[in-house]
Every structure is written in C-alpha cells, then in structure tokens.
Amino acid sequence: MSNVPKTGLGVLGSGKGSNFVAIAEACARNELNAEVRLVISDVPGAGILERAGERNIPNRHLEPGPFRTKLSEEAEAAYVEALRAAGAEWIVLAGFMRILKGGFLRAFPLRVVNIHPSLLPSFPGLRAWQQALDYGVKHTGVTVHLVDQGVDTGPIVSQATVPVLDDDTPERLHTRIQEVEHRLYPEALQALVSGGVRVRGRRSYRN
Ligand code: GRF
C-alpha cells in the first residue's frame, strides 16, 4: 500500500468527532491509504475541530448561512471551494447535521460518503438508535452509504448489525453502535478510495 499515493479526504462534522478520530487513526496506522486534508464544521468550537487541531490537521468553522437544516447557496460554494483548495478528493460526512444539495453533490459526484446509525432504509433521520428502541427491533446497526439528494437514501456501501439488548438504554445502544461505526467507516472508506467498490444504480459491488 505504501507506494500508492494517499487519497485526500475532506471531513464535515457538527459534533464530537469520534468517527473523524477513528478515520484519522486508521490513516495514521496506514490501514486507510488516505490523509485528512481539511475538517470543516458548521458549528463554531465543535469537538471535531478540537480533535483535528490536536492532530495538527487543518480545520475550520465555515458559516452555514441562515437555514437550520441545509447550507445556503453561498455557503455551499464556500465549502466546495475550501475542500477543493485543500485537495479533498472524497468528502466524508461524520455527524454533519445538514442536508447537502445538488450544487455540492455535483461538485463531488459519487464522492460524498455518510455513516448512519441504523440499518437503512430503517430509521432514517435523527436519533436512529432511539427510533430502533421505540420500534422494538431486535437488531439495528450501522450503514455507510454514498450521498444522494435524499435524506439517508444513497447507494449502500457497507452495513453491520448491532443487537438490541432487553435492558438497553438509548445511551448504551448508541455507545455500542458507535463502537461498530469506528470499525466500519475506515474499512468502507479504504474500499472506496482504493477503487474497490463499483456502483451501478442503487447497488454497490466489491471488486
Ligand atoms: C454518528 O453516530 C453517525 O452515525 C451520525 O452522527 C454521529 C456522529 O458522531 N451520522 P461523532 O461526531 O462521529 O462522534
């Protein structure tokens, strides 16, 4: 793997950044042949920015604009420009709490990846672990998928199951889901950046 050039990643996040840390550590261990070139958050002072700073990885807050659930057109253009200037080839969403629209997605076609804390298409949207508990399923899990214009709807790259235990609380279930995320996301990203995944329609195939 060592003589293959590292793929540039741009990471977007709004929260504490535990998935970003798992990805950065996988890069440092050469298990993921990539380098995080820039971390952007829509939330000033977000944990993910601090985690990046501790690792000397370029990071910045970029204003999202006036909307609550998406970026304004101007903000979207600023995010694209910053990511391109940093050399990001793949965009990794790691707890980014805004929907990305056509302009952003057209700038990085089939190169925007997300992780969701359920087995999609079950429980899209917010607090998916709570939704799983409320519904009473016996298994939930984690999904890594490419991002399309919908919410949590793009082609699925990788999934893993997590059992729901009889005495689970939302916090305990979320913690176990996150442990699986931290293993699954770097593994799926390595498959993607190495060209090991083909996408046809909704379906992805490992080479
Ligand atoms: C993760 O649970 C992920 O599934 C969801 O947002 C959360 C981000 O957590 N999309 P963190 O900021 O990576 O700790």
The pLDDT, as a whole number, for residue 2 is 59
Site to substitute for ligand 1 among 18, 175, 179, 184, most atoms within 8 A of C-beta: 18
User: In this model, does residue 170 exceed pLDDT 80?
Assistant: yes
How large is the average pLDDT for residues 130-134?
98
How large is the average pLDDT for residues 134-138?
98
Cα–Cα nearest to 43, from 12, 74, 11: 12
How large is the average pLDDT for residues 103-120?
97
The pLDDT, as a whole number, for residue 47 is 98
Q: Catalytic residues, which ones?
A: 116
How large is the average pLDDT for residues 16-38?
98
How large is the average pLDDT for residues 24-47?
98
User: In this model, does residue 172 exceed pLDDT 60?
Assistant: yes
The pLDDT, as a whole number, for residue 177 is 98
The pLDDT, as a whole number, for residue 71 is 97
Mean pLDDT (the chain) is 97
- Name all residues whose Cβ lies below 6 A of ligand 1: 13, 15-19, 48, 94-95, 115-117, 178, 181
The rounded Å distance from CA 205 to ligand 1 centre is: 25
The rounded Å distance from CA 201 to ligand 1 centre is: 26
The pLDDT, as a whole number, for residue 207 is 87
- Joined together, the tokens standing for residue 104 give 């952003």
pLDDT digits (tens, 9 = 90+) for 74-102: 999 999 999 999 999 999 999 999 999 88
